[in-house]
Amino acid sequence: MSKILIVDDEIGIRELLSEILRDEGHDVVLAEDAAAARAERNTDCPDMVLLDIWMPDTDGITLLKEWAAAGQLTMPVVMMSGHGTIDTAVEATRIGAIDYLEKPIALQKLLSAVKRGLQRQPPVIAPMPLTLAAFTESASLQDLYRRLRQLAGQSRLILIQGGPGHLGELIARSLQTPGMPWLDLGALNGSIDPVRLNAYQSGQLYLAGLERLTRPQQKNLAAVIERLDRHDIRLLVASGASRDELLLGGWDAALVEQLFAHVLNAPTLAEIRDDLPELVRRILRHLVDTKEVPLHSFTPTAVAQLSRKDWHGGYGELCSTIRNLALATQEEEINLPETFQSANAAEPSAVSPISFDQPLREAREAFERMYFEHHLHLERGNMTRLAQKTGLERTHLYRKLKQLGLHGGRRHEEA
């Protein structure tokens, strides 16, 4: 039995199509608008969707684009409309719809379209990464996505600026074109031979930790920027440093001005705490959709606990924790184990594993943050004992903590 989702704001059409398809032996789910359709898609992915174009809240073409951008267009979709045009049908097909039906829909055309859709083998494509487009309930993330697209229309080079644990990679992935090359320069130690850029024609490059580049790497970056137009490549660079900090660090002034010409300020997870429940649920849903983890959902209590946690390792730490919890849980509903809850109360990062998918430099920084958080907790912020425990000179220790976005309590300086 196939599950078919019918999305149409007209109750008469929903009931008519539902009756026909149920008589054919299908399990039918109804949605009166895009919001209900999203909820059904996220709860239990249907085998097929019949999607009306003209709806009061969000039109069908926009919803289709949203599913495609979020990597959720994993089921065949047939568009329906009583006022469609050839251009609309062509656009829907380009986005990913498999067919287009004009209202009033003839019985035979409906059954033929459903039969073709259910017999259609899903394309073998690499799963799309999670992007800002997926977070439809968050006004702040949707505003961030809008500003990102505005900048992308102005320049091939965008600087993503934010504190430790910002949403840099999620933002960068949000501009990735399906099927086009993507390269994280961190995997190449921050540099790439400019001659090799032709392999990433019409693609995208991403570089995190700009402020850590050496002088030779800075020169390499300048050479790459010069060739962006030639190869139709977009470059997104993430940094926690200001323009003045780079200049004081000896960076070339012309390169710094290029980098700061188009800046997007990226929030940290702490700055969008109210949006964390949606992030938690959406990340897990994406992992399930891309078959990285079995079908799971979080209990409301687990969502609340994860949302209260201080994610010092940022978005990457949150994703790694959700993935590992899903892989370690046998039940369909995930409720956080007691070991997680007690560790979360004492040491937020103690149970947050380091992702082995990230570049060495970022993994090392994540480990250092966890290491210093652990000892800061044990020593209750006492910097004298922390310096002795870690074997670092006090000035170096303060500099390291500042770099990692951590703070020791000077009020605990008693020996």
pLDDT tens-digit series, residues 66-91: 887 666 788 899 999 887 677 788 88
Residues of the chain with pLDDT > 90, as a percent, come to 40
Same domain? For 90 and 198 the reply is no
- The whole-angstrom separation of Cα 161 and Cα 268 is 10
Is residue 169 assigned to a domain? yes
Which of 233-237, 331-335, 341-345, 405-409 is predicted least confidently?
341-345
In a domain, 294, yes or no: yes
Q: Whose CA is closest to 295, among 353, 335, 334, 352? A: 334
Q: Taking a C-beta distance cutoff of 8 angstroms, is the pair 354, 389 a contact?
A: no
Beta strands in 243-400 (DSSP E): 263-265, 297-298, 333-334
Residues 260 and 325 in one domain: no
- 114 shares its domain with 219: no
Q: Which of 201, 236, 265 is the endpoint of a domain?
A: 265
* Residues of the domain holding 16: 3-119
Domain co-membership, 112 together with 233: no
Contact 387, 410 (CB under 8 A): no
Q: Are residues 234 and 180 in the same domain?
A: yes
Where a domain ends, among 227, 245, 265? 265
Residue 8 lies in a domain: yes
Q: Please tell me whether residues 191 and 204 are part of one structural domain.
A: yes
AA letter at 297: S
Q: Is residue 306 part of a domain?
A: yes
261 and 146 inside one domain: yes
Residue 412 domain-assigned (yes or no)? no
Q: How confident is the model at residue 217 (pLDDT cuts 50, 70, 90)?
A: very high
Q: Identify the CATH number of the domain in which residue 304 sits.
A: 1.10.8.60
Output the pLDDT for position 407: 65
376 pLDDT higher than 60: yes
The CB-based long-range contact list for 334-337 (8 Å cut-off, 24+ gap) reads 334/284, 334/296, 334/297, 334/298, 334/299, 334/302, 335/298, 335/299, 335/301, 335/302, 336/301, 336/302, 336/305, 336/306
- Write out pLDDT tens, residues 313-340: 788 889 888 988 898 888 889 988 654 6
Contact between 28 and 18 under an 8 Å Cβ cutoff? The reply is yes
What domain count does the chain have? 3
Beta carbons of 200 and 183 less than 8 angstroms apart: yes
- Contact (CB, 8 A) for 345 and 375: no
Question: Parallel, antiparallel, or unpaired for β 263-265 and 157-161?
Answer: parallel
**Is residue 293 located within the same domain as residue 252?**
no
Residue 320 lies in a domain: yes
pLDDT tens column, 131-181: 998 888 888 999 999 999 999 999 999 999 987 778 888 999 999 887 788
Last residue of a domain, one of 119, 153, 168: 119
Whether residue 361 lies inside any domain: the answer is no
Are 140 and 252 in a shared domain?
A: yes
CB 126 within 8 A of CB 230: no
The pTM for the full model equals 0.58
Instruction: Categorize the per-residue pLDDT at 351 as very low, low, confident or very high, splitting at 50, 70 and 90.
Output: very low
Q: Kindly state the average pLDDT of the residues 193-213.
A: 87
Asked whether residue 83 is domain-assigned, the answer is yes
Residues counted in the chain: 415
Q: Does residue 186 have a pLDDT over 90?
A: no
**Percentage of the residues of the chain whose pLDDT score is greater than 70:** 88
Give mean pLDDT, residues 240-254: 93
Give the model confidence (pLDDT) of 102-132 as tens digits: 998 999 999 999 999 998 765 545 567 889 9
Average pLDDT of the chain, as a whole number = 84
Q: Give strand pairing partners of 262.
A: none
**CATH number, residue 79:** 3.40.50.2300
**Which range scores top for mean pLDDT: 57-61, 126-130, 252-256, 375-379?**
252-256
What is the pLDDT at residue 349? Answer: 42
Angle at 148 between CA 147 and CA 153, to 5 degrees: 100
- Angle CA 136–205–370, to nearest 5: 70
